[in-house]
């Protein structure tokens, strides 16, 4: 008789793996290569921004007090004593009745406390001297971008673990980070098991299918921010599979195999784990798909025996691998963000186990809807192409109707959340 396995709740399975999480090392990369990496240090303003008071306009800088008497019928005239562009440093200190012709981004001269745009100033030349006049009053500080007005020195700006996007890159450049401290990516080994598997370039043969899991998992690894190393596909043969897995374990931080974890005659992973002396954390989870997902540890390394069924494999990665990768990458929001959405379709199946239903999300009339991505069976591959979320339908429910509310895990979101449960 086949071995009876005792299913554990999803949360318990996640907890058991979570206890084995490790934080990855830090490495320096050029700012040019830091996109989509995760910061391994908090970014703090190294200096005020802007570092000097500057002009937001092309115009004239002068003392606002000199315009107290100015009006439409009473223009006030200034002698233009200097002319500076961005990058030039003013040399003149402005006194009463003096102005500096100043361009956007240039440092405000000492003595000046306002800038008037060219559009409200009249200019003329007399005896080789430039003059400017203005017919309105100006306030002290008007049109001046004060030193540190955006950010003060020492202000905390970006938390470590945050993914680097174009805006963050601009901040890094502003503070002179030519080298950026980022979290080292874990290297995840990928092996597909199954005598039925063909390579992607091969023609179909009777009884055989193309290996889609390896490509899917590699892509999930990239989406999670890690690196993969593909070791090929293995036939369901014990000795060669054991030798290969035993050998490559030193080359990776985490190992993912797909297939061979159920109770079939050619499901070899349980016996391989046993021979390796790996510590099996669980081999049955009260969830669908992916109930046979098996996870073991060998020293610090986590070995994921994901199911061969494509959708079970996909869900197993998102639930059990991704958070571990995120923690490795110093992300304190390691779990997928979980939001409430309205079901756009009926889902009439009763759920004895927690079910993770493939769905996609859309906004309509400022409400978030989750619609079924396709057939929701474990052995189905094509619905994955339309999946951007996983609806979490709790065990013990009798099915759902369009219009009901459900939790959805967002798969393309980078914000994440610190815990698996709804927060
Ligand atoms: N008697 C029982 N049979 C099964 C049980 C059970 O509890 N008792 N569980 C079922 C469930 S649930 C799942 S899920 C599958 C899990 O199977 P395995 O993880 O052992 O995977 P395989 O047997 O190797 O393959 C299953 C299925 O997936 C296809 N496959 C495998 N690898 C790939 C790949 N790289 N790319 C695409 N497709 C792949 C394979 O051809 C099979 O069709 O077991 C049930 N059975
Ligand atoms: O537990 Mo399986 O992964 O649902 O088909
Ligand atoms: Mg099997």
Please give the distance, rounded to the nearest whole angstrom, from the Cα atom of residue 377 to the centre of ligand 2. 8
Distances (CA, A) of 397 to 33, 222, 344: 48, 34, 18
Tell me whether residue 318 is in a domain.
yes
| Residue 216 Cα to chain centre, angstroms | 19
* Residue bearing the CA closest to ligand 2, atom 5: 378
Distance from the CA of 339 to the center of ligand 3, in angstroms? 34
- Report whether residue 290 contacts ligand 2, using a CB cutoff of 6 Å: yes
| 149 located within any domain | no
- Residues 45 and 105: their CA atoms lie apart, in Å, by 20
Identify the CATH number of the domain in which residue 163 sits. Answer: 3.90.105.10
pLDDT of residue 421: 85
In-domain check, residue 141? no
Residues 207 and 295 in one domain: yes
Provide the domain limits for residue 260: 10-24+185-328
Whether 36 and 179 share a structural domain: yes
Residue nearest atom 4 in ligand 1 by C-alpha distance: 262
Is 140 domain-assigned?
Answer: no
Pairing assessment for the beta strands 26-30 and 179-183 based on DSSP bridges = antiparallel
Three-class DSSP category at 198: strand
Residue 153 counted as domain residue? no
CA 290 to ligand 1: nearest atom:
14
Same domain? 299 vs 198: yes
Give yes or no: residues 190 and 178 share one domain.
no
Closest approach atom of ligand 2 to CA 291:
1
Q: Measured from the CB, is residue 302 less than 6 Å from ligand 2?
A: no
Q: Are residues 349 and 248 in the same domain?
A: no
383 CB near ligand 2 (under 6 Å)? no
Query: How many domains are contained in the chain?
Result: 4
Instruction: Indicate which CATH number applies to the domain containing 122.
Output: 2.170.190.11
264 CB less than 6 Å from ligand 1? yes
ipTM value greater than 0.95: yes
Q: Tell whether ligand 2 has an atom less than 6 A from the beta carbon of residue 283.
A: no
Nearest ligand atom owner, CA of 269: 1
Same domain, 179 and 189: no
Q: Give domain status of residue 415, yes or no.
A: no
pTM of the predicted structure, to 2 decimals = 0.93
Whether ligand 2 lies within 6 angstroms of the CB of 291 is answered as yes
Q: Residues 77, 215: one domain?
A: no
**What is the dihedral sign for C-alpha 161, 295, 409, 188?**
positive
State whether the beta carbon of 378 lies less than 6 angstroms from ligand 1.
Answer: yes
Straight-line distance from the first to the last Cα atom of the chain, in angstroms, rounded to the nearest whole number? 43
Same domain as 288, residue 189: yes
Given the CA of residue 211, which atom of ligand 1 is nearest to it? 36
pLDDT digits (tens, 9 = 90+) for 208-260: 999 999 999 999 999 999 999 999 999 999 999 999 999 999 999 999 999 99
Examine the domain organization and report whether 94 and 200 are in the same domain.
no
Residues 6+ apart with CB under 8 A from 130: 79, 80, 101, 123, 124
**Helix-helix angle 238-248:269-276, to 10 degrees:** 50
Query: How would you class 339 by CB atoms within 10 Å of its CB: exposed for 0-12, middle for 13-18, buried for 19 or more?
Result: middle
The verdict on residue 145 lying in a domain is: no
Token representation of residue 319: 């639930």
> Which of 233, 257, 262 should be mutated for ligand 1, with most atoms under 8 A from CB?
262
For atom 43 of ligand 1, the residue with the nearest CA is 309
Which CATH number characterizes residue 404's domain? 2.40.340.10
Could you tell me if 207 and 77 lie in one domain?
no
Instruction: Specify if 423 maps to a domain.
Output: no
Nearest CA to ligand 2 atom 1: 291
Domain match, 94 and 125 both: yes
Task: Check the CA dihedral 49-54-58-63 and report its sign.
Answer: positive
Can you give the pLDDT at residue 423? 62
Picking from 117, 97, 92, the residue whose alpha carbon sits closest to that of residue 107 is 92
CA pair distance 107, 147, nearest whole angstrom? 10
Cβ of 24 less than 6 Å from ligand 1? no
Atom of ligand 2 nearest to the CA of 288: 4
Residue 3: predicted pLDDT: 73
Q: Are residues 34 and 170 in the same domain?
A: yes
What CATH number does the domain containing 250 carry? 3.40.980.10
Ion ligand 3: residues, CB < 5 A: 262, 264, 267
Backbone angles phi, psi at 39, to 5 degrees: -60, 140
Tokens 């080994």, residue located: 189
| pLDDT recorded at residue 4 | 83
**Nearest protein Cα to ligand 2, atom 3:** 290
Give the number of the atom of ligand 1 that is nearest the alpha carbon of residue 212: 36
Which residues of the chain, if any, have pLDDT below 70?
Answer: 1-2, 422-423
pLDDT at 67: 98
């Amino acid at each position: 008789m086949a071995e009876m396995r005792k299913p554990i709740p999803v949360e318990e399975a996640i907890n058991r793996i979570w206890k084995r999480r490790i934080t990855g090392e830090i490495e320096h990369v050029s700012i040019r290569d830091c996109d989509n990496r995760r910061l391994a240090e908090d970014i703090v303003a190294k200096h005020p921004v802007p570092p000097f008071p500057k002009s937001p306009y092309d115009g004239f800088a002068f003392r606002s007090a000199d315009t107290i008497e100015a009006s439409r019928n009473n223009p006030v005239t200034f002698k233009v004593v200097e002319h500076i562009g961005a990058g030039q440093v003013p040399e003149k200190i402005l006194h009463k009745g003096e102005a500096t012709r100043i361009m956007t981004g240039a440092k405000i001269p000492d003595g000046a406390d306002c800038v008037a745009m060219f559009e409200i100033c009249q200019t003329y030349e007399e005896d080789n001297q430039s003059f400017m006049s203005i017919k309105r009053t100006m306030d002290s500080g008007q049109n001046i971008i004060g030193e540190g007005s955006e950010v003060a020195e020492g202000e905390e700006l970006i938390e470590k673990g945050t993914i680097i996007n174009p805006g963050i890159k601009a901040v890094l450049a502003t503070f002179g980070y030519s080298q950026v401290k980022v979290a080292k990516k874990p290297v995840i080994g990928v092996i597909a098991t199954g005598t039925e598997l063909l390579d992607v370039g091969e023609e179909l043969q009777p009884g055989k299918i193309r290996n889609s899991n390896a490509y899917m998992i590699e892509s999930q690894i990239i989406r999670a921010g890690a690196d993969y190393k593909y070791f090929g596909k293995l036939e369901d043969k014990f000795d060669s599979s054991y030798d290969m897995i035993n050998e490559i374990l030193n080359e990776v931080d985490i190992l993912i195999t797909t297939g061979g974890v159920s109770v079939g005659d050619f499901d070899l992973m349980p016996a391989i784990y046993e021979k390796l002396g790996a510590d099996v954390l669980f081999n049955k989870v009260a969830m669908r798909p992916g109930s046979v997902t098996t996870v073991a540890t060998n020293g610090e390394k986590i070995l994921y025996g994901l199911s061969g069924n494509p959708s079970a494999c996909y869900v197993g990665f998102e639930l059990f691998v991704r958070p571990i990768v995120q923690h490795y990458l110093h992300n304190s929001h390691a779990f997928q963000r979980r939001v409430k959405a309205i079901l756009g379709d009926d889902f009439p199946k009763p759920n004895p186990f927690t079910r993770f239903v493939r769905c996609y999300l859309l906004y309509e009339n400022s409400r978030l809807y989750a619609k079924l991505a396709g057939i929701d069976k474990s052995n189905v591959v094509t619905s994955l192409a339309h999946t951007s979320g996983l609806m979490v339908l709790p065990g013990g429910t009798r099915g759902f109707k369009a219009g009901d509310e459900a939790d959805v895990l967002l798969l393309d979101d980078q914000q994440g959340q610190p815990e698996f449960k709804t927060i």
